[in-house]
Amino acid sequence: MKKIVVAGAGGFIGGHLVKELVKKGNRVRAVDLKPLNEWYQVSDEADNLMLDLRLRENCYRAVNGYNEVFNLAADMGGMGFIENNKAACMISVLINTHLLLASKDCGIDRFFYASSACVYNGDKQTDPHNPGLKESDAYPALAEDGYGWEKLFSERMCRHFREDFGLTTRVARFHNVYGPYGTFDGGREKAPAAISRKVIEAGITGKKEIVIWGDGLQTRSFMYIDDCIKGIQDIMYSNIEEPLNLGSSEMVSINQLVDIVEDIAGYKLNRIYDLKAPKGVRGRNSENTLIKKYLGWEPSIPLRKGMKKTYDWISEQVVDETRRKKGTNRFNK
Ligand code: NAD
């Protein structure tokens, strides 16, 4: 049994990871800034703590006496959030910096950092037919402003703590993760959840239209949460020292993603394209040669299959909320 700290445990990916690590018999300390009643998932078997990990002393409190740290804590969201909150995204640098310092001083054996495809050079993402971003495409650096630069800097920090202080660090660059128990409204949601929610709401209200950010031709790949949780653990316990892509290589346009959601819902909507909305890079995909070489595996859960589970969960949340707030809910007030 290992003693493992998960930072950002109240969030989407952190909640799933805590569940999995607890299930495997580990002693887990789950830490998040949010009050417990706002966590997506709470594992009663874990030691659940509410701490602001931007503060140095809280990071020491969080990791002291434990063996391993997974850092998934960050102030983040989809394009709508990161394009309008660049300073807030960059302040997450304090979380990783203080967690690394505390991990070094408290004798942590292994440290995992959740990086992002937003570290990649923007000039390599101007074509919707993106051949896939190789790990080396992060340099020369031209990361996503704000959020991406913070991720790139924190990756380097992991590398130098490993080289200079001997702390074992592992870094994965996640490409859009989706699934149940994550953000689906409020402004931080990402495309799979946002599109599912809009289609579900249209079904409830009888609205015949859906607003899509951009022209719908921009491309992305999306990784289902189960693949992400497997990949995080496989990378953490590997001997791969350099940042590794952790993403699906099933690239689709946003229009194709809407097609999938409409197919699940069983109805079609008129598409209105909001060309002024935040839309991010033109084309992005994960190039998986390295992960296949090192781990003999790559994320492979088909988008259609993962979206069905995600859609069903979001549908339950939206319908529950509608029932709970009957009379004053967002559909009939
Ligand atoms: P999330 O927003 O659901 O979870 C992040 C959690 O960190 C939140 O619960 C938040 O309250 C917590 N947090 C923020 N500031 C904190 C602080 N000061 N102290 C303690 N906790 C704090 O996001 P997620 O989708 O679960 O992402 C997890 C990690 O993976 C993040 O580092 C994110 O940047 C990275 N990532 C996610 C995706 C994705 O598609 N979801 C893609 C690339 C990278």
pLDDT, one tens digit per residue, over 117-139 is: 999 999 999 999 999 999 999 99
Looking at the domain assignment, is residue 327 inside a domain?
Answer: no
Is the CB of 252 inside a 6 Å radius of any atom of ligand 1? no
Cβ 91 under 6 angstroms from ligand 1: no
Domain membership flag for residue 289: no
How far is residue 275's CA from residue 215's CA, in Å, rounded to a whole number? 6
Separation of alpha carbons 146 and 165, rounded Å: 28
Confidence of residue 319 (pLDDT cuts 50, 70, 90): confident
Its domain, for residue 195, covers 191-220+251-284+302-322
In this prediction, residue 327 carries a pLDDT of: 55
Model confidence at 328: pLDDT above 70 = no
Tens digits of per-residue pLDDT, 230-273? 999 999 999 999 999 999 999 999 999 999 999 999 999 999 99
| pLDDT of the residue at 325 | 72
**Ligand 1 and 34: CB distance under 6 A:** yes
Whether 203 is covered by a domain: the verdict is yes
Give domain status of residue 96, yes or no: yes
Q: What's the 43 CA to ligand 1 centre distance in angstroms?
A: 18
Total domains, the chain: 2
For residue 33, pLDDT over 70 is answered with: yes
72 lines ligand 1 (CB under 6 A): yes
Asked if residue 230 is part of any domain, the answer here is yes
User: 182-207 b/e with 16+ CB inside 10 Å = b?
Assistant: bbbbeebbbbbbbbbbbbbbbbeeee
> Is 204 in the same domain as 148?
no
Look at residues 77, 108, 101, 236 and name the one whose alpha carbon lies nearest to residue 172. Answer: 236
Annotation marks residue 294 as catalytic? no
pLDDT band at residue 329 using 50, 70 and 90 as cut-offs: very low
Confidence of residue 326 (pLDDT cuts 50, 70, 90): low
Asked if 281 contacts 147 with a C-beta cutoff of 8 angstroms, the reply is no
* 6 Cβ inside 6 Å of ligand 1: no
332 pLDDT band, cuts 50/70/90, is very low
Same-domain status, 148 and 204: no
CA atoms in the 13 A half-sphere facing the CB of 251: 19
User: Residue 126 and residue 295: Cα distance in Å, rounded?
Assistant: 30
Indicate whether 268 and 147 sit together in one domain.
no
Report the b/e string of 98-129 with b at 16+ CB within 10 A: bbbbbbbebebebbbbbbbbbbbbbebbeebe
State the residue for tokens 């989407």: 12
Q: Are residues 64 and 132 in the same domain?
A: yes
Please give the pLDDT value at position 51: 98
In a domain, 32, yes or no: yes
Across the chain, mean pLDDT equals: 95
Is 184 inside a domain boundary? no
Give distance in angstroms: CA of 271 to centre of ligand 1: 31
Same domain, 141 and 107: yes
Q: CATH number of the domain at 216, please.
A: 3.90.25.10
Domain final residue pick, 230, 246, 262: 246
Shared domain for 164 and 265, answered yes or no, is no
41 plus 173 within the same structural domain: yes
Pocket of ligand 1, candidates 6, 12, 119, 223: which has the most ligand atoms within 8 Å of its Cβ, to mutate? 12
The active-site residue, picked from 40, 113, 120, 147, is 147
What letter does residue 133 receive in the DSSP assignment?
A: B
Whether residues 139 and 273 fall in one domain: no
Residue 321: which pLDDT band, with cuts at 50, 70 and 90? confident
Residues 141 and 207 in one domain: no
**What integer pLDDT is reported at residue 333 of this predicted model?**
38
CATH number for the domain spanning 151: value is 3.40.50.720
- Per the domain annotation, does 277 fall within a domain? yes
Same domain membership, residue 129 and residue 20: yes
Q: Which of 13, 9, 42, 43 minimizes the C-alpha distance to 223?
A: 13
Report long-range pairs for 263-270 (Cβ below 8 Å, ≥24 apart). Answer: 263/304, 264/304, 264/307, 264/308, 264/311, 265/199, 265/200, 265/203, 265/311, 267/203, 269/199, 269/202, 269/207, 269/208, 269/209, 269/210, 270/208, 270/209, 270/210
Asked if residue 59 and residue 164 are part of one domain, the reply reads yes
Burial of 239 (0-12, 13-18, 19+ CB in 10 A): exposed
Per-residue pLDDT, 179: 98
Mean pLDDT is highest, among 153-157, 182-186, 277-281, 323-327, for 153-157
Residue 150 has pLDDT above 60, yes or no: yes
Residues 165, 40 share a domain: yes
